[in-house]
Structure 1
Amino acid sequence: MPPGKTAKLADSFQHQFHQRWGHLNDIHVRALAWLLDAPDLLDPLAPQWQGKIATLEGSLPDDIADWLLTLDQQPDALHRYLDVQAFTRLGRYAEKLMAFYFEYRGILAAHGVQVRAGKNSTIGEFDFLLRIEGQLLHWEFATKFYLLESSGAGEDADYFVGPNLADTLGAKMHKILDRQLLLSQHPAAQVHLPTPVSQAQALVKGWLFYHSADEADAIAFGTHSEHCRGFWCALNEMERVQAERYAVLPRLHWLAPAKLAPNQTMDKQALQDLLAKHFVDDTMPVLVVLLEVEGESAIETSRGFIVPIDWRTRAGQRIKLVHPLT
């Protein structure tokens, strides 16, 4: 595990999650528990988000632990609702988990409502329309994973880059705040709204990954102080990564800290062999979880992206598209 406070903070969250939800075994129920109980990715009070960040903090029902335990023991209804396919995207999977919860709460007015202007023109989509205390709320929902590329010592959210370099945290939030949250004001949206939308906000969950503890300590960018975090390192820095056991998870299993059978894990040599083979013809970073064996389970203590050796250079080039003077 990389040294320093980044690792300790990551350990702290994983430890807390296992303490509270370690008794849950179903992978989808564990993912739902993480979505509901994990810290927000962004600070709702940070000025750059203009008061448009939603939170579940303080709103979970008192019986949430009992409900999740019952669901873990009888998960068939959740499995049918999710209808997970091989091609299911992580974002859509997380949305359906949240929709299941909102239906249980009795506050879901609509989910995934497309707004069109004519047959061939899609204006946008309402992720969630919620009915809370007599008001209609519009919530956009995102679950994101970003790596901080800070060689340019940037001071904004565009320095958090997606592992595949396709987007940045800044670009994502610009799209949500300046376009998606305005959807209810479009004339074509009115047919879908039983009453005017009282408030439009974004609920953002996820994990942020840092190359060093100093970065995690010094850079905020409007993030929640207790957001879920991990490390990233290049393939040639693997000596920094030390654990009892390791695993590479399928993308749909990225949300909650992992709880695996020991025979689903590997030692470091096996991990290095897997990574070396992967990076021969693929530049996509690999999410690795670090595990300790406790009894009959291997539980996650930390996680990080292993990136190709030239990733930082390509990430810097991606940032320059947004900040040409960097």
Structure 2
Amino acid sequence: MSAFAPLDVQLTHPAVRDLAWAIASPGLLAADHPHAAAVVPDAFCAKEVAELSQLLHSLDRDPAPLTKWLESHHSHRLGEYFERLVAFWLTHAGAQELRVGFAVRDAGRVLGEFDLLFRHPKLGGLVHWEVAVKFYLLMEPAAGLKGFLGPDCADRLVDKLDHLFGHQLLLAHTPAGRAALGGAQPRAQALVKGWLFFPLDASRPRLPELSPAAPSGWWLRYGTRELPRPAEGERRWKVLPRLQWLAPALGQEGERTLFEGDHLEHVLATHFARARTPLLVARLAPVANGLWREDSRGFVVSPDWPSAPP
């Protein structure tokens, strides 16, 4: 069971749920990935979220410290939002001398940056984390990692991992990186989280490089088949804006963004009549006191997705 699962049914504030998910959700990469030694392990994250449980429940009652932190570094970019959540986590988990987005320059030109630099009593010495939250759809099951494509067709999983392990995590070993750190060599690790999406009703292939515990959903081309129906019970639907892609969604009865299936079909028809942008939708089941909780999510993409060679 994911370390996030207990918190999924306990926490209700969206930003606090995202913070808990950022810490506790399983990473995308398997424990026996070729670069596993350079990946922040799920076991470390599970221990961290257990130790921060009291803080998370306190924030759920009064989220002001977290919301003020996020507002002071507001961004419309999901990756930057995720990075700020991780920085908040570290500042409350004993990290010292935390630097976010520390740029490396040579003759005034930026060569790269360290996402997070800090010292941590549990990790020892200087630590460099590269932080990534990614969402990939498996378009070509037979292609393995090469078959995973971002919803906007802008990147592939295999290319991201090549850049992460072949470039970003090696920044401290470059002459400019060494100079920026005064010769110090940090322990470099990647925190890679997100969601993987598989064709609706297709079996999930076993890919040894990817964690079988990684959060997952489905995808389908609009107009080619129906949205997945629950085996039993009533459901609602919600279209998730990009900054709500992290933790499983919640909804409240009467909320304007909580749709029945027929209305969602209208929303999708209206959207794809004028746009080709994929939409991430969540299906929610009732829990208690008018609250609905996500039990499934998936991308609905245009009929011709990917419309151009990625």
Mark yes or no: TM-score above 0.5: yes
Q: Is 1:196 aligned to residue 184 of structure 2?
A: yes
Q: What is the alpha-carbon distance in structure 1 between the residues aligned to residue 6 and residue 220 of structure 2?
A: 28
In structure 1, the partner of 2:254 is 263
1:27–1:240 distance in 2 versus 1, CA, 3 Å: closer
In structure 1, the partner of 2:210 is 223
Q: How does 1:135-284 map onto structure 2 within 5 Å?
A: 135-150=125-140, 153-155=142-144, 157-193=145-181, 196-212=184-200, 214-216=202-204, 218-220=205-207, 222-243=209-230, 244-264=235-255, 265-284=258-277
1:215–1:124 distance in 2 versus 1, CA, 3 Å: farther
Deviation at 1:189, TM superposition (A): 2.5
Code of the residue aligned with 1:222 in structure 2: it is: E
Q: What is the alpha-carbon distance in structure 1 between the residues aligned to residue 20 and residue 182 of structure 2?
A: 31
Q: How many residues are aligned here?
A: 298
Contact 2:236 2:259 in 1 (8 A): yes
Q: Is 1:308 aligned to residue 302 of structure 2?
A: yes
1:105–1:19 distance in 2 versus 1, CA, 3 Å: closer
1:205–1:255 distance in 2 versus 1, CA, 3 Å: same
Q: What is the alpha-carbon distance in structure 2 between the residues aligned to residue 118 and residue 228 of structure 1?
A: 43
Deviation at 1:212, TM superposition (A): 4.2
In structure 1, the partner of 2:30 is 43
In structure 2, the partner of 1:8 is none
RMSD: 2.2
In structure 1, the partner of 2:15 is 28
SS in 1 for 2:10: coil
1:224–1:191 distance in 2 versus 1, CA, 3 Å: same
Deviation at 1:132, TM superposition (A): 2.9
Q: What is the alpha-carbon distance in structure 2 between the residues aligned to residue 50 and residue 290 of structure 1?
A: 33
Q: What is the alpha-carbon distance in structure 2 between the residues aligned to residue 80 and residue 192 of structure 1?
A: 31
Deviation at 1:214, TM superposition (A): 4.3
1:139–1:86 distance in 2 versus 1, CA, 3 Å: closer
Identity across aligned pairs (percent)?
35
SS in 1 for 2:216: strand
Code of the residue aligned with 1:125 in structure 2: it is: E
> Which structure exhibits the higher relative contact order, with contacts defined as CA atoms closer than 8 Å and separated by 6 or more residues?
1
Could you report, residue by residue, the CA deviation over 1:86-115 in whole angstroms, capped at 9, with x for unpaired residues? Answer: 852000000000000101112143221111
Q: What is the alpha-carbon distance in structure 1 between the residues aligned to residue 302 and residue 279 of structure 2?
A: 9
* TM-score where L is the length of structure 2: 0.88
Code of the residue aligned with 1:160 in structure 2: it is: F
* TM-score where L is the length of structure 1: 0.84
In structure 2, the partner of 1:118 is 107
Q: Is 1:100 aligned to residue 72 of structure 2?
A: no
Specify every segment of 5 or more residues in structure 2 that has no aligned partner in the other structure, as ranges. Answer: none
Q: What is the alpha-carbon distance in structure 1 between the residues aligned to residue 36 and residue 51 of structure 2?
A: 32
Moved >6 Å (runs of 4+): none
